Amino acid sequence: MAGRQGSVRVGPVSILVLTIVLCLAVMAVLALTTSRAEESITSRQEASTIEMYANELEGQTFLARLDAALAASPTVAAALDSLDLPEGATFENGVLKVAFEQPGGRRLDIEVSIPNKSGYQVIAWRASTEWNEDDPDVIFWSSS
């Protein structure tokens, strides 16, 4: 009795395995690309946070020095003269304006009302970031 032997067809199994391998390869490339993008975003966020806290530290340190100078000086003018004011600081109509800026563009602007030597009031405490058009990380699409 001559019977037919059954054989496994290799064609459909090979196509299925090839499709699965290609899908896994594409998913691996996408995972790698996403992880690199996340690393870039995380490092920029880290730098921004460090600069923000550096500005906050400078601002708080300045207010502590201002408080000590006002307590030790007979007048507001004498207290301000004894301080090493940051470049660009102004004192007009009883309002002292100072700014602290980091190399990455983070800026802290402080406005302090000093009516007399007995104390002061913080009017404004603004943190901002300077826009840099040449930064390659902020270009979303090309105009060409």
What is the tens place of the pLDDT at every residue in 32-46?
Answer: 999 999 998 999 899
8 belongs to a structural domain:
no
pLDDT, one tens digit per residue, over 46-67 is: 988 999 999 999 999 999 999 9
101 belongs to a structural domain:
yes
3-state class (DSSP) for residue 37? helix
Compute the distance between CA of residue 100 and CA of residue 98 in angstroms, rounded to an integer.
Answer: 7
92 belongs to a structural domain:
yes
Q: Is the pLDDT of residue 140 over 60?
A: no
Q: Which domain holds residue 94?
A: 13-132
3-state class (DSSP) for residue 34? helix
117 belongs to a structural domain:
yes
27 belongs to a structural domain:
yes
Total of domains in the chain: 1
pLDDT, one tens digit per residue, over 122-131 is: 999 999 987 7
142 belongs to a structural domain:
no
5 belongs to a structural domain:
no
